[in-house]
Amino acid sequence: MTYEIFGESHGPAVGVVLDKVPAGFALDMEEISRQMERRRAKGGLSTSRIEGDVPEILSGVYQGKTTGTPLCAVIKNSNTRSEDYAKTQNLPRPSHGDYAGHVRYKGANDPRGGGHFSGRLTAPLVFAGSIARQFLREKGVEIGAHLLQIGRICDTPFDPVSIPEALLRELQQEAFPVLDKAAGEAMKAEILAAASEGDSVGGVIQCGVSGFPCGVGQPGLDCVESVLSRHMFAVPAVKGISFGLGFDFAGKRGSEVNDPMRVENGKVICTKNNNGGITGGIANGMPIVFQTVLKPTPSIAKPQETVDLSAMENAELVIHGRHDPCILSRAAVVIESAAALALWEMMSGGNL
Amino acid sequence: MTYEIFGESHGPAVGVVLDKVPAGFALDMEEISRQMERRRAKGGLSTSRIEGDVPEILSGVYQGKTTGTPLCAVIKNSNTRSEDYAKTQNLPRPSHGDYAGHVRYKGANDPRGGGHFSGRLTAPLVFAGSIARQFLREKGVEIGAHLLQIGRICDTPFDPVSIPEALLRELQQEAFPVLDKAAGEAMKAEILAAASEGDSVGGVIQCGVSGFPCGVGQPGLDCVESVLSRHMFAVPAVKGISFGLGFDFAGKRGSEVNDPMRVENGKVICTKNNNGGITGGIANGMPIVFQTVLKPTPSIAKPQETVDLSAMENAELVIHGRHDPCILSRAAVVIESAAALALWEMMSGGNL
Amino acid sequence: MTYEIFGESHGPAVGVVLDKVPAGFALDMEEISRQMERRRAKGGLSTSRIEGDVPEILSGVYQGKTTGTPLCAVIKNSNTRSEDYAKTQNLPRPSHGDYAGHVRYKGANDPRGGGHFSGRLTAPLVFAGSIARQFLREKGVEIGAHLLQIGRICDTPFDPVSIPEALLRELQQEAFPVLDKAAGEAMKAEILAAASEGDSVGGVIQCGVSGFPCGVGQPGLDCVESVLSRHMFAVPAVKGISFGLGFDFAGKRGSEVNDPMRVENGKVICTKNNNGGITGGIANGMPIVFQTVLKPTPSIAKPQETVDLSAMENAELVIHGRHDPCILSRAAVVIESAAALALWEMMSGGNL
Amino acid sequence: MTYEIFGESHGPAVGVVLDKVPAGFALDMEEISRQMERRRAKGGLSTSRIEGDVPEILSGVYQGKTTGTPLCAVIKNSNTRSEDYAKTQNLPRPSHGDYAGHVRYKGANDPRGGGHFSGRLTAPLVFAGSIARQFLREKGVEIGAHLLQIGRICDTPFDPVSIPEALLRELQQEAFPVLDKAAGEAMKAEILAAASEGDSVGGVIQCGVSGFPCGVGQPGLDCVESVLSRHMFAVPAVKGISFGLGFDFAGKRGSEVNDPMRVENGKVICTKNNNGGITGGIANGMPIVFQTVLKPTPSIAKPQETVDLSAMENAELVIHGRHDPCILSRAAVVIESAAALALWEMMSGGNL
């Protein structure tokens, strides 16, 4: 299954086309709505741009089941306030895609609300991922994420050797998914502190996958890490990904971090899982664990140095749009969705 | 340009086919040899398996110039000692691809020397990348890497705002590329200490790219970060990648890390480069900077816990093969080569 | 540029997403409408299902220009009469995709009006092709088709050595494009005769392309013939394609049909063009000429032998839907559009 | 499974890399040799350039079985006589890829023996196809071809409703595969007549496939006709393809050519097979039947009009190389091999 996302923040709609969908699968539309609701802004810690985000399925579903032919869904944009952007459309926002996009698209890209670069494009991504997730669930695969770090506050990491499916499903119910509730409260305080200063804050999301079958993947450009990372960096704001122990491998010795293998109930398991469930580019049957870092939302209320592209001179930018001081709680389901699309792509790849 | 690598560690040869090669380009074969020499084991800090590593070009080059049709090169395997592996071929090495590969390939994969999972496969990768690098150089793009961390020792990072081409080319001359020589000496001591205990050590390679044109890339699955990371994880042992400030974004506020923009000599530049030269998934004209973490070589001399796949029982493994206590100094050119292939893929993608 | 078509005949809408669209191109929407009008049924010689066929652009266009990001357009289905199909949905129509589709999609495909197999899906194809055609026109490439054969009646073929752009544009103005008006009248009579008997008739469309640049294409799986044929067979009813002299090559000698080369005004030309402008899989600068055969519309009014898939027994089928006795006059613009998409795919492929 | 062919006619070797090969398959190397022998020139009716054509497998096979990792095989070029070409390398051969290739590759392509455009590249294609054919055979799929037409002589076509596997295997044993032996003798006379005049002759190959499973394929760009045709046009000299009744559909009515359906032994079959086993772009369980036309070998002994590319003036060309007066008897196995690669690509595509 492949996906293609389209749309601009202030255009008529955003949407997605899914291709090579398995046929005859009864979609749980309520579950899709629940997942999309997790991403939707609801005021409070997030932007005051609130959208209904109801996907309209145009094709590929008949009598509640997938037909197997391309599935297109669109989500109307309703609550757009383009006037927020009109005054500043020649002033690219620092650390946004505005300037590089302006060069890439020869100035023809839709600048309103970030256009195609907007976080709004993650709505159809969650829709698509929620479908992939249902296919995976039928195969016994579950995906869940929590906020591992926000600002200076860290959550307890997953125990990589054992990530129960129930825990992953529980995390999906949380508006602010953490393993350590106290850390969660401290994170919220961190976000409010940033918000109160017209600032934003970054963080790390850790994602766990249970039940992914041993033997999926291959060495080289289509290894599990390559496919997952390709999908993760398609999520705006992601600037790094690591698997298992990740960057902590650098300071370690092989004898400390190699994952010993044992036979348990007739099955080969590892008694550690520093590799995050992937060895040689292939899933090895242990839980898949990876971390993605998201940079602080670049749209902040503080004045910033930028340039005026029409006059080609220095300028000051004050952003008046509606923005999240921290995107991470809404991003957890986006990361899970992108992971679902990546994992399903690999599982459905086929090779007789 | 795309590449496809083939071969097994103890088979007749490893090699690569490059497709969509620009026609009429005069290859600098000496430069290719120099790059390959950087990867080649030479004893001392690396494995005692020493190979000539002379690529034989079978197609795609005529009278010293690329023809534009597929370019195939093979590198013979000569110094193979398969007997090192015969005794242990039912004992998958912890943290290696052995077990997952056994499941993936239904036990049919070539187990000798790791087969297709061997680091030996990076020889044709360097060959291919060295060609991509020559194409890039003609367009003013240069790539260089240094060892940012080995064990507990850290090198000085690049200044991301200014990475001179000359510095990158200098790094390519070094057998042990670091910016801070003293740090380099301490790293070597770290490696020798691990080696003396039959152990291995991991590290981080930082890669810098100068001259990559603003406007290459696009948001979504083919963004610059996605393409680079896909190529990086194809390199064995890589377990994480981050761009610019990477995982340090997590603890920061937007106002601290946003990259201010200025007009300088009629050109738009950033006065910081925390985004590592990429915003909105597109190159923004600043140097590209990224970090990859490599886990410690899993093949260590110490006894390890594993399983016997034929008897399906626990077993102890003592590895007698020839292995590197630290792969990073040889891996720098591999990372640069994979980066060259990724960057050239994007630059040559075309879009009238 | 790539395209993905979605939709079912009786679903909410059909549509298309175009990716890798050049940025900043001012679309001529009137011209797109004119092309779509050529495909639209208008009664008379065609089906009485008449649709407005107004494409709604959801993304990828801003202020009348392409943004360069994915362009999605949808066309609402309004005039659907699913009751025509309800009675016969277990009775696959002979020579239609009904039965193979039923097996392929495990019975989950939308059977109403042929679902995703419907000729209605060519509406978004023409929309997409009309955009590709505008990009091509800017590069001096023009595409036009005429009805070379319907039933037993044949039109005059193109002179392959010289196909003026003006002629191609003229053909695009014709509701029933032929080079020989008398042949055209005889063809119409042939169609009416078939229609009056509740029958249908097949034919051949010949397509010519002027101005396609010499040197585009390559030998192997992505040769010009491969790319064009791949796009042509995506058009329902197409069962054969031939280039230049096509199947008549079989009865010829090399000395008769080789295309002699000459220098003319400092340019290399061929004095014959039996190869239809393609040699070695590459465009050689001569007009591209190819023929596609379309089978008679399988939906005919006469009773036919089929099976009842629910009872798994023989059955008789009488089709009451609204169908074209001959699809060719409406298909000319579809063939041109598919050609435009194929040719633009090749021209925009890039290779520095 | 995908394939990539490399090599030039007078370079060190030609070869192929197969990717996504099923693991653990015991290759029948003798059968591969038999298939390659069918393509090999042996004097008499074909070129006097005789090559051993022994493929050397460099990777992807271990202990006689496929490993599942990329399989590379090379075939050395030994009997090259480049001096045949030296004198005429500025004189592109009419109807060859020489001129278009010269433009495409900016004059850098290897001109000796046609370089990458040479029919010699079909040797690795047959090697690759012979492997695909073994995979298909295990699934009950058999492929065979016969010479349907050479010059003015026609063979009896397949009965499309019933193409026994035994007949297909028998055809594979024939050096000159025809269904009607008398027609075969007349064809040989036709070839000798052309050869005696320094001329060449074209023809049509009809290919039949038994046992291909109903339900493989899909509508659109990846339909069975699209995939097969894409692979067929990668074979040099192919200028047209048609499925089932092909171009004869043009003169027919729907009532004549629709394929009636019946239940037979609990299975749905068609009592005619004018669609050549494909409806809606999907295999419908009937034998697959298609025809490809091959133009007369353009390399003929008679003097021809061409141009001198260095002087940019008209010139006469007399070709002294060694060429086949008719390629069809050697091409039958090439067509079958390309078909095997196309069909296996579709069967192994996967979709859970």
Q: What is the mean pLDDT of residues B26-52?
A: 83
| Percentage of the residues of chain B whose pLDDT score is greater than 90 | 88
Distance from CA of B212 to the nearest CA of A (A): 12
Q: DSSP states of A212-277 as a string?
A: PPTT-B-SSTTSHHHHHHHHHHTSTTEEEEEETTGGGGGG-BHHHH---EEEETTEEEES--TTTT
| Percentage of the residues of chain D whose pLDDT score is greater than 70 | 94
Residue C206 near residue C158 (C-beta atoms within 8 A): yes
Tens digit of each residue's pLDDT (9 = 90 or more) over A95-135 = 999 999 999 999 999 999 899 999 999 999 999 999 999 99
CB-closest option in A92, A250, A263 to B293: A250
Under 8 Å CB-to-CB from B294, ≥6 apart: which residues?
A249, A250, B202, B203, B204, B205, B237, B238, B239, B327, B328, B331
pLDDT for C83 equals: 67
Q: Mark yes or no for CB contact B15/D105 under 8 Å.
A: no
pLDDT for C350 equals: 64
Token representation of residue D3: 């394939």
Q: Chain C residues with CB inside 8 Å of D94's CB?
A: 258-261, 270
pLDDT higher than threshold 70 for residue D352: no
CB-closest option in B23, B58, B107 to D24: B107
Residue A154 near residue A115 (C-beta atoms within 8 A): no
Residue D336 near residue D129 (C-beta atoms within 8 A): yes
Terminus-to-terminus CA distance in chain A, angstroms?
Answer: 17
A-D contacts (CB, under 8 Å):
31
pLDDT higher than threshold 70 for residue A312: yes
Closest Cα in chain B to A119? B280
Q: Mark yes or no for CB contact C135/B352 under 8 Å.
A: yes
Under 8 Å CB-to-CB from D113, ≥6 apart: which residues?
D8, D9, D10, D80, D82, D84, D85, D120, D321
Residue C337 near residue C292 (C-beta atoms within 8 A): no
Tens digit of each residue's pLDDT (9 = 90 or more) over A175-211 = 999 999 999 999 999 999 999 999 999 999 999 999 9
pLDDT for D11 equals: 96
pLDDT for B229 equals: 98
Query: What residues in chain B have their Cβ under 8 A from chain D's Cβ atoms?
Result: 4-8, 11-15, 17, 19, 23-25, 56-60, 62, 65-72, 74, 104-110, 115-116
| Percentage of the residues of chain D whose pLDDT score is greater than 90 | 88
Distance from CA of A63 to the nearest CA of B (A): 32
Closest Cα in chain B to A302? B255
Q: Which amino acid is at A234?
A: A
Instruction: Pick from A253, A337, A352 the residue to mutate for testing the B interface (most B CBs within 10 Å).
Output: A253
Q: Which residue has the higher pLDDT, C344 or D45?
A: C344
Residue C32 near residue C133 (C-beta atoms within 8 A): no
Residue A44: pLDDT band by 50, 70, 90 thresholds?
Answer: low
Closest Cα in chain A to D352? A348
Query: What is the average pLDDT value for chain C, to the nearest integer?
Result: 94
Neighbours of chain B (3+ CB pairs under 8 A): A, C, D
pLDDT higher than threshold 90 for residue C352: no
D26's torsion region: left (phi>0), alpha (psi -120 to 50) or beta? beta
Under 8 Å CB-to-CB from A141, ≥6 apart: which residues?
A209, A210, A211, A212, A213, A343, A347
* 3-state SS, residue C220: coil
DSSP A121: G
pLDDT higher than threshold 60 for residue A331: yes
Q: Mark yes or no for CB contact C351/B139 under 8 Å.
A: no
pLDDT for A321 equals: 66
Closest Cα in chain A to D347? A352
pLDDT for D272 equals: 98
Distance from CA of D237 to the nearest CA of B (A): 19
Instruction: Pick from A18, A105, A205, A295 the residue to mutate for testing the B interface (most B CBs within 10 Å).
Output: A295
Neighbours of chain C (3+ CB pairs under 8 A): A, B, D
In this prediction the pTM is 0.96
Closest Cα in chain D to B107? D24
Between B139-143, C190-194, D83-87, D256-260, the lowest mean confidence (pLDDT) is in D83-87
Instruction: Pick from B199, B239, B263, B291 the residue to mutate for testing the A interface (most A CBs within 10 Å).
Output: B239
**Residue A332 phi, psi (nearest 5):** -55, -45
CB-closest option in B58, B70, B106 to D23: B106
- The runs of H, that is alpha helices, within chain B are 29-39, 83-86, 98-104, 122-138, 165-173, 181-196, 224-233, 254-257, 328-347
CA-nearest of D200, D11, D233, D12 to D111 is D11
A-B contacts (CB, under 8 Å):
351
* 3-state SS, residue D75: strand
CB-closest option in A135, A139, A352 to D348: A352
Residue A53: pLDDT band by 50, 70, 90 thresholds?
Answer: confident
Please give the Cα distance from B247 to C86 (Å, whole number): 58
Q: What is the mean pLDDT of residues B200-206?
A: 98
Please give the Cα distance from B276 to B259 (Å, whole number): 10
Residue B83: pLDDT band by 50, 70, 90 thresholds?
Answer: low
Q: What sign does the CA torsion over C345, C346, C352, D4 have?
A: positive
Please state the three-class secondary structure of C126-147 as a single string.
Answer: HHHHHHHHHHHHHCCCEEEEEE
DSSP D74: E
Distance from CA of B237 to the nearest CA of D (A): 19
Which run of H or of E encompasses C34?
Answer: helix C29-39
Closest Cα in chain C to B132? C352
Q: Mark yes or no for CB contact D97/C279 under 8 Å.
A: yes
pLDDT higher than threshold 90 for residue D47: no
CB-closest option in B5, B58, B67 to D109: B67
pLDDT higher than threshold 90 for residue D259: yes
Tens digit of each residue's pLDDT (9 = 90 or more) over B280-335 = 999 999 999 999 999 999 999 999 999 999 999 999 999 876 678 999 999 999 99
Q: Mark yes or no for CB contact A24/C106 under 8 Å.
A: yes
Neighbours of chain A (3+ CB pairs under 8 A): B, C, D
Residue A153 near residue A190 (C-beta atoms within 8 A): yes
Q: Chain B residues with CB inside 8 Å of C351's CB?
A: 20, 22, 348, 350
Instruction: Pick from B105, B112, B120, B135 the residue to mutate for testing the D interface (most D CBs within 10 Å).
Output: B105
Please give the Cα distance from D172 to D332 (Å, whole number): 9
Neighbours of chain D (3+ CB pairs under 8 A): A, B, C
Distance from CA of C63 to the nearest CA of D (A): 31
Q: What is the mean pLDDT of residues B41-59?
A: 78
Q: At what angle do helices D224-233 and D328-347 cross, to 10 degrees?
A: 140
pLDDT higher than threshold 60 for residue A352: no
- Report the b/e string of A125-149 with b at 16+ CB within 10 A: bbbbbbbbbbbbbeeebbbbbbbbb
Q: What is the mean pLDDT of residues C122-149?
A: 98
Tens digit of each residue's pLDDT (9 = 90 or more) over C16-74 = 999 999 999 999 999 999 999 999 877 666 666 667 789 999 999 999 999 999 999 99
pLDDT for C322 equals: 64
Please give the Cα distance from D21 to D2 (Å, whole number): 8
Q: Chain C residues with CB inside 8 Å of D238's CB?
A: 225
Q: Mark yes or no for CB contact D351/A352 under 8 Å.
A: no
Residue whose structure tokens are 């005021």: A43
Residue D110 near residue C224 (C-beta atoms within 8 A): no
In chain D the beta strands, taken as DSSP E runs, fall at 2-7, 13-19, 56-59, 61-62, 65-66, 71-76, 142-150, 153-154, 203-210, 238-243, 261-264, 267-270, 278-279, 282-283, 288-294, 304-308, 313-317
Q: What is the mean pLDDT of residues D216-245?
A: 97
Instruction: Pick from D138, D218, D223, D352 the residue to mutate for testing the A interface (most A CBs within 10 Å).
Output: D352
Query: What residues in chain D have their Cβ under 8 A from chain B's Cβ atoms?
Result: 4-8, 11-15, 17, 19, 23-25, 56-60, 62, 65-72, 74, 104-110, 115-116
CA-nearest of D343, D327, D351, D100 to D231 is D343
- The runs of H, that is alpha helices, within B202-293 are 224-233, 254-257
Residue whose structure tokens are 């592209």: A309
pLDDT higher than threshold 90 for residue B78: no
- The runs of H, that is alpha helices, within chain A are 29-39, 83-86, 98-104, 122-138, 165-173, 181-196, 224-233, 254-257, 328-347
Under 8 Å CB-to-CB from D217, ≥6 apart: which residues?
C100, C104, D223, D224, D227, D278, D281, D282, D283, D346
Please give the Cα distance from B125 to B115 (Å, whole number): 16
- The runs of H, that is alpha helices, within B250-303 are 254-257
* 3-state SS, residue D230: helix
Q: Mark yes or no for CB contact B250/A226 under 8 Å.
A: no
pLDDT for A84 equals: 62
CB-closest option in D69, D104, D106 to B109: D69
Tens digit of each residue's pLDDT (9 = 90 or more) over B104-148 = 999 999 999 899 999 999 999 999 999 999 999 999 999 999 999
Which run of H or of E encompasses D132?
Answer: helix D122-138
